[in-house]
Structure 1
Amino acid sequence: MATVNNTVEQLVQRSNSLGADPRNTNYAGGNTSAKGTDIDPVTGEDVELLWVKGSGGDLGTLTPEGLAVLRLDRVRAMTQTYPGVDREDEMVAGFDYALHGRGGTAPSIDTAMHGLVNADHVDHLHPDSGIAIATSANGEELTRKIFGDKVLWVPWRRPGFQLGLDIAEIKEASPQAVGVILGGHGITAWGDTSAESETNSRWIIDTAAKYIEDHGSAEPFGATRTDYAALPEDERRSKAARLAPHLRGIASHDHAMVGHFTDSDAVLEFLAGDKLSALAELGTSCPDHFLRTKVKPMVIDLPSETPVDEILAALPALHESYRADYRAYYDRHAASDSPAMRGADPAIILVPGIGMFSYGADKQTARVAGEFYVNAINVMRGAESLSTYSPISEAEKFRIEYWSLEEAKLRRKPAPRPMATRVAFVTGAASGIGKAIAARLAAEGACVVIADLDLEKAQTAAAELGTSDVAIGVAADVSNESDVQAALAEASLAFGGVDLVVNNAGLSLSKPLLETSEKDWDLQHDVMAKGSFLVSKNAARILIDQGMGGDIVYISSKNSVFAGPNNIAYSATKADQAHQVRLLAVELGEHGIRVNGINPDGVVRGSGIFAGGWGAQRAKTYGIDEKDLGKFYAQRTILGREVVPETVANAVFALCTSDFSHTTGLHVPVDAGVAAAFLR
């Protein structure tokens, strides 16, 4: 018999192998298990154990720490106290009393399936091909035709203790079977070894896929509607970027959401079929799907060539219709003890010719919701190819969506970070102050767009913050409006829109008046005065379109009010930025957009500006060595402290929290106290 370490290692390897392929299962979907024997440290005797993927884990990235570990004798003993299907939810609490030692992570609702099925290794997966069979109107007949007696049919039953008993009974009665198709749901397979279980899982998935390919209809979504066909890529993505803020506002009516855009071939094909409305109305079937996508999407049922303005004009009525439909769905099925309705806005919005917009409480959730709907599209393709797509009933969907166990799982989630759901667009963020601001906002939960003149540096800085679910890098010359518009369009496609804009991009030329050329003056003003204007103007359009309020922050300078020596072009530009803050605060306040500024003292450490020659120029002006410039600035302040990039980043974060919800038009000095720069 394999050692405990080998058993766990093989289970993790199998899980990762299966979970790495989206054709086998969705992100965080499905679960795997292994049974084995270990020494009970209390009695010194052998004890049979069950290792099973815990609640909320992901097979593709599973580690040993993500497993729940239970005593198998106690899991099986629960059959003696099982009160029946009407009270099966009570059994979940019993798993806590079956844990071995600290038990690892929390057991999932599918633990009973893994513990009660008499096989050393069990896989429960949500493959597109398997669910296509499971959601076909004649799924039971197809299962017999495709698999014979090696894979058996289990009628739909909500995941839980009774489903585990059902599958266990089928396996005992059919020793030739290697797995089952779970009606409306997915597949379960097993084996005496880890390799055998994986082989059986893959055989079921591949056999179903091959059968669909060989016997399926050429037009599963119906005839292609030419008026709903995909637009050329540039036009498609341009329209998507213009629509994104409006759609994000719709999805965020009840709760703020982050967005994701998908225009894959599978999505565009689905949107062009004449069955689009009928299939979309049926919604998804697998519980893992509709828990993330809601029971059905919102469809903007208009031809591809419809002008954006006409689409926008149609949105309010479509949104209200969707909300009314969802409220009616809730009212039809809610009982006196049902959880309160969580929100009536769509998680998936489909726009023919353009693509799919998906939403969630963070970027990963939004992206995964989109991935799950693509899985649902693939399921519908397979089911409609062979038969008729017939998902589980609306009543059953409600039982799962508003399941008390699902509600308990939601309550266990940690409180969101202060910047959760917010999308920050920071200019000049590949180094210095901008990079520190981007890092602080990302650490507080924001999605961050790092805009910089140097694309490679922007992308490198973004990668340092995490995956593209956290940050992306874009190129932007802020003095060029086309560049600014393109960068903000990328932000809208990546995250749905923008909530927080930081005008940080800058440079500095330290020269006295008579040595300052017209070119110097224009360069200084183009990047900071004009650049800030262009960024604010184009970002404000997005903020207004979203209807969610927002923040614009200018990184100005104490030099906007302090007359330092040999600094005419830089200081005049900073004064321009400072007054833009006041002007925009007045103009944008009616939209809930706050505009504030930060006035730092010279930030030497980590500064791209100072490293690029400004530091040497300022040191020469003050008659000191450049290496002593930070100390020089610090010693002349009231607090005697040097200002560093993180100091400025802290101020930006604080200004953009709810604690400053009633503050706009403010300039915050971050200069350790420079009396000559006190605001009057």
Structure 2
Amino acid sequence: MTSATHPEVAALLERAHRIGSDARNTNYAGGNTSVKANGTDPVTGDDTELLWVKGSGGDLGTLTEAGLAVLRLDRVRALKKVYPGVEREDEMVAAFAYCLHGKGGAAPSIDTAMHALVEAAHVDHLHPDSGIALACATEGEKLTAECFSDKVAWVDWRRPGFQLGLDIAAVKEANPRAVGVILGGHGITAWGETSDECEHNALWMIRTAETFLQERGRAEPFGPEWAGREPLPEERRRERAAALAPLIRGLASTDRPQVGHFTDTEPVLDFLARAEHPRLAALGTSCPDHFLRTKVRPLVLDLPSDAPLNEAAARLKELHGEYREAYRAYYERHASPDSPAMRGADPAIVLVPGVGMFSFGKDKQTARVAGEFYLNAINVMRGAEAVSSYAPIEESEKFRIEYWELEEAKLRRMPKAKPLATRVALVTGAGSGIGKAIAHRLVAEGACVVVADIDAANASSVAEDLGGADKALAVPVDVTSEEEIAAAFRAAALAFGGVDLVVNNAGISISKPLLETTARDWDLQHDIMARGSFLVSREAARMMTAQNLGGDIVYIASKNAVFAGPNNIAYSATKADQAHQVRLLAAELGEHGIRVNGINPDGVVRGSGIFAAGWGAQRAATYGIEEEKLGEFYAQRTILKREVLPEHVANAVFALTGGELTHTTGLHVPVDAGVAAAFLR
């Protein structure tokens, strides 16, 4: 907030933050709050009544003043005179542009009319699970009266828009004792003459509904336990989830690549362990915010919890095909000639009894939030079934919202996706130096990154710097251990659904003359880099082939793979091994759409973990110079006379994987500022 923030707007933002910080009150980016108050006309200097309302796409918990749309209230209300009727109400959204005050702030949302037309200074529209449970119950209107008496009125389902605003305003006028309404199939709206009164009324409605559902509800709303669908023990459950995740992600990415998220919380597992879950899941979600994120219904595996993994995989493929056919039929049943094109027929939510829920989206946050929304839907089903029966809005109404031109326009306003959006990368040795720079570049270009490093503290620090759990995951990995590598890929599958891009960067360097190089030196050098790269690439190939989405494997090799220098037998021989692994794997994995390429850096001194760990001192001694001048020395022996930094290697990784070199595999890219003796032949 600025120093000039209107005091009523300041109160509105504080209220929004309090309400939005509690998931019981509304879902992420769901609902909106508003205030009506006098402001100054920037032309005349006169007072004019304004409406500040959360703009399209914002989140209450993090709402800022810039996220508010600001409109002239008299102009919005004057739209009633030109309202052409419900069949043309979408035209009213464009009319809001002529009602803006000054620069107008954020884009007005479809709910703007609701806030403007209701005669109250403050209005909150929210999507609490308890309120939606009443809104989606077969006897919702009757239950609302029993729960709230005449303090809360009922409004039949209507798609959000200008007419809904008129409906709520009329109901409020006809019910002077009411402090809010339950919107059939949708959520709640509350009001008050002060910010505190509005917040009190909204929270009173939510908590009263929660108490009503708890006290009136039956004990097992999802039915009895279903033998064979009970949750697996945690270790087995997560092992099975990690094994299924790449397959499911691949299926969910048939139309367009997706990032995944896995949830095995108790409410999800309990829902899937109950006899009624197939019926309820088939009914789909109801609140518009829910099914816009989760699609109209999930894909549900119909096998016992402990079914053999190969049987589960085969059945998931069958069900996915059936889901796509059913979704296309749903689209064709309801689409009109002017409907937006079908956006994709893959599920956003996949439920596996005994294991949990897999959710998908264009990035990790979207995938995670989709899962949170389906958990909201489970809570809604539980509440509705506890006191009545769950009755979501009609399928045709769901389609009208899912393929609403206003939703399509919102999608068109979204910024263009970054080049590596939806891709999941695993970088070894990412806790420092070149690996850290690569991790930063990949995240900057839209990827999710698994920061793998033998130093757990360094890995965690890098992951935190990259933006936390929606961007990066830290995993401690010793690349000489098959078990730790497998565990890292399992962690990636649970966090993001799988892996698409692997960078073999972990390494050490032992610089000694031949006669001083011990067998232990040789074995250690080869175990970490040659054997380690092989093990990581093998695990990557397993996951990438399971996903069937192609992929990239990049080896950070070295100029020394092709250049013979003194006192470097163990390191250079290992780099030559890695270089040939690139060629061998490029030839073998190409049929799966997996590209394998290498990068040959040289002289990366600044920020390098290897150089800082003693390699720099050894190489400086070999060349007879001071260690702090090693970077300058390397630069001066190059054709370009430029020092190579970790960021330059990261740039090369992006060049190979960012989408332009789609037909390149088996290539080694020098990043050495030009060393003629290392030119590839």
Shift of 1:8: 1.1
Name 1:49's counterpart in structure 2.
Answer: 50
Instruction: Check conservation: 1:12, 1:63, Cα contact below 8 A.
Output: yes
CA separation in 2, counterparts of 1:137 and 1:467? 42
Instruction: Check conservation: 1:132, 1:382, Cα contact below 8 A.
Output: yes
Amino acid at match of 1:676: A
Name 2:322's counterpart in structure 1.
Answer: 321
Shift of 1:315: 2.1
CA separation in 1, counterparts of 2:9 and 2:579? 61
Name 1:178's counterpart in structure 2.
Answer: 179
**Deviation by residue 1:401-447 (Cα, 9 ceiling, x = unmatched):** 00010011111111100000000100000100000000001000001
* Pairing of 1:351-390 with structure 2 (within 5 A): 351-390=352-391
Name 2:392's counterpart in structure 1.
Answer: 391
Amino acid at match of 2:536: V
CA separation in 2, counterparts of 1:545 and 1:511? 42
**Is 2:112 the counterpart of 1:107?**
no
Q: Which moved more, 1:509-518 or 1:284-293?
A: 509-518
Instruction: Check conservation: 2:144, 2:182, Cα contact below 8 A.
Output: yes
CA separation in 2, counterparts of 1:294 and 1:507? 48
CA separation in 1, counterparts of 2:574 and 2:195? 67
**Deviation by residue 1:597-623 (Cα, 9 ceiling, x = unmatched):** 000012100001100111000000000
CA separation in 1, counterparts of 2:221 and 2:486? 39
**Deviation by residue 1:307-334 (Cα, 9 ceiling, x = unmatched):** 1111112122111100000011001101
Name 2:210's counterpart in structure 1.
Answer: 209
CA separation in 2, counterparts of 1:360 and 1:452? 28
CA separation in 1, counterparts of 2:609 and 2:462? 14
CA separation in 2, counterparts of 1:359 and 1:270? 20
Amino acid at match of 1:57: G
Name 1:428's counterpart in structure 2.
Answer: 429
Name 2:289's counterpart in structure 1.
Answer: 288
Name 1:545's counterpart in structure 2.
Answer: 546
Shift of 1:657: 2.0
* Pairing of 1:239-250 with structure 2 (within 5 A): 239-250=240-251
Instruction: Check conservation: 1:424, 1:499, Cα contact below 8 A.
Output: yes
Shift of 1:170: 1.0
**Deviation by residue 1:146-183 (Cα, 9 ceiling, x = unmatched):** 00000000000000000000101111121110000000
Shift of 1:455: 1.4
Shift of 1:215: 1.2
Name 1:156's counterpart in structure 2.
Answer: 157
CA separation in 2, counterparts of 1:187 and 1:671? 63
CA separation in 2, counterparts of 1:489 and 1:86? 51
Name 2:557's counterpart in structure 1.
Answer: 556
The DSSP-based 3-state class of the residue aligned with 2:360 is strand
CA separation in 2, counterparts of 1:467 and 1:92? 37
* Pairing of 1:118-197 with structure 2 (within 5 A): 118-197=119-198
CA separation in 2, counterparts of 1:113 and 1:266? 33
CA separation in 2, counterparts of 1:111 and 1:307? 52
Instruction: Check conservation: 1:112, 1:160, Cα contact below 8 A.
Output: yes
Shift of 1:295: 0.1
**Is 2:676 the counterpart of 1:670?**
no
Q: Percent same amino acid among aligned pairs?
A: 71
Instruction: Check conservation: 1:4, 1:37, Cα contact below 8 A.
Output: no
Amino acid at match of 1:556: A
CA separation in 2, counterparts of 1:74 and 1:451? 57
Question: What TM-score does the superposition give when structure 2 sets the normalisation length?
Answer: 0.99
CA separation in 1, counterparts of 2:214 and 2:13? 31
Instruction: Check conservation: 1:23, 1:128, Cα contact below 8 A.
Output: yes
Name 1:523's counterpart in structure 2.
Answer: 524
Shift of 1:226: 2.6
Instruction: Check conservation: 2:42, 2:102, Cα contact below 8 A.
Output: no
The DSSP-based 3-state class of the residue aligned with 2:48 is strand
Shift of 1:4: 5.6
Name 1:619's counterpart in structure 2.
Answer: 620
* Pairing of 1:270-669 with structure 2 (within 5 A): 270-669=271-670
Name 1:223's counterpart in structure 2.
Answer: 224
Instruction: Check conservation: 2:153, 2:180, Cα contact below 8 A.
Output: yes
Instruction: Check conservation: 1:427, 1:503, Cα contact below 8 A.
Output: yes
Instruction: Check conservation: 2:156, 2:184, Cα contact below 8 A.
Output: yes
The DSSP-based 3-state class of the residue aligned with 1:33 is strand
CA separation in 2, counterparts of 1:225 and 1:210? 28
The DSSP-based 3-state class of the residue aligned with 1:148 is helix
Divergent runs of 4+, >6 A:
none
Instruction: Check conservation: 1:137, 1:389, Cα contact below 8 A.
Output: yes
Q: Which moved more, 1:93-102 or 1:4-13?
A: 4-13
CA separation in 1, counterparts of 2:104 and 2:13? 17
The DSSP-based 3-state class of the residue aligned with 2:228 is helix
Instruction: Check conservation: 2:230, 2:273, Cα contact below 8 A.
Output: yes
CA separation in 2, counterparts of 1:467 and 1:291? 26
Name 1:39's counterpart in structure 2.
Answer: 40
CA separation in 2, counterparts of 1:637 and 1:45? 70
Instruction: Check conservation: 2:603, 2:635, Cα contact below 8 A.
Output: no
The DSSP-based 3-state class of the residue aligned with 1:424 is strand
**Deviation by residue 1:218-264 (Cα, 9 ceiling, x = unmatched):** 11111011310000000000000000000000000001000000000
Amino acid at match of 2:17: N
CA separation in 2, counterparts of 1:7 and 1:62? 15
Amino acid at match of 2:24: R
Amino acid at match of 2:377: A
Instruction: Check conservation: 2:605, 2:631, Cα contact below 8 A.
Output: yes
Name 1:200's counterpart in structure 2.
Answer: 201
Name 1:259's counterpart in structure 2.
Answer: 260
CA separation in 2, counterparts of 1:675 and 1:39? 70
CA separation in 1, counterparts of 2:553 and 2:184? 51
Amino acid at match of 1:343: G
The DSSP-based 3-state class of the residue aligned with 2:25 is coil
Gaps of 5+ in 1: none
CA separation in 1, counterparts of 2:532 and 2:221? 51
* Pairing of 1:39-118 with structure 2 (within 5 A): 39-118=40-119
**Is 2:8 the counterpart of 1:7?**
yes
Instruction: Check conservation: 2:504, 2:555, Cα contact below 8 A.
Output: yes
CA separation in 2, counterparts of 1:632 and 1:570? 20
Instruction: Check conservation: 1:4, 1:38, Cα contact below 8 A.
Output: no
Question: What TM-score does the superposition give when structure 1 sets the normalisation length?
Answer: 0.99
Instruction: Check conservation: 2:131, 2:182, Cα contact below 8 A.
Output: yes
CA RMSD of aligned residues (A): 0.7
CA separation in 2, counterparts of 1:370 and 1:456? 30
The DSSP-based 3-state class of the residue aligned with 1:343 is coil
CA separation in 1, counterparts of 2:8 and 2:665? 60
CA separation in 2, counterparts of 1:414 and 1:79? 34
The DSSP-based 3-state class of the residue aligned with 1:472 is strand
Instruction: Check conservation: 1:585, 1:664, Cα contact below 8 A.
Output: yes
The DSSP-based 3-state class of the residue aligned with 1:580 is helix
CA separation in 2, counterparts of 1:428 and 1:160? 53
**Deviation by residue 1:473-502 (Cα, 9 ceiling, x = unmatched):** 111101100000001100010000000000
Amino acid at match of 1:372: F
CA separation in 1, counterparts of 2:421 and 2:402? 23
Shift of 1:456: 1.8
Shift of 1:467: 2.3
CA separation in 2, counterparts of 1:268 and 1:314? 20
CA separation in 2, counterparts of 1:312 and 1:168? 52
CA separation in 1, counterparts of 2:557 and 2:633? 21
Shift of 1:511: 0.6
Instruction: Check conservation: 1:4, 1:36, Cα contact below 8 A.
Output: no
Shift of 1:38: 1.1
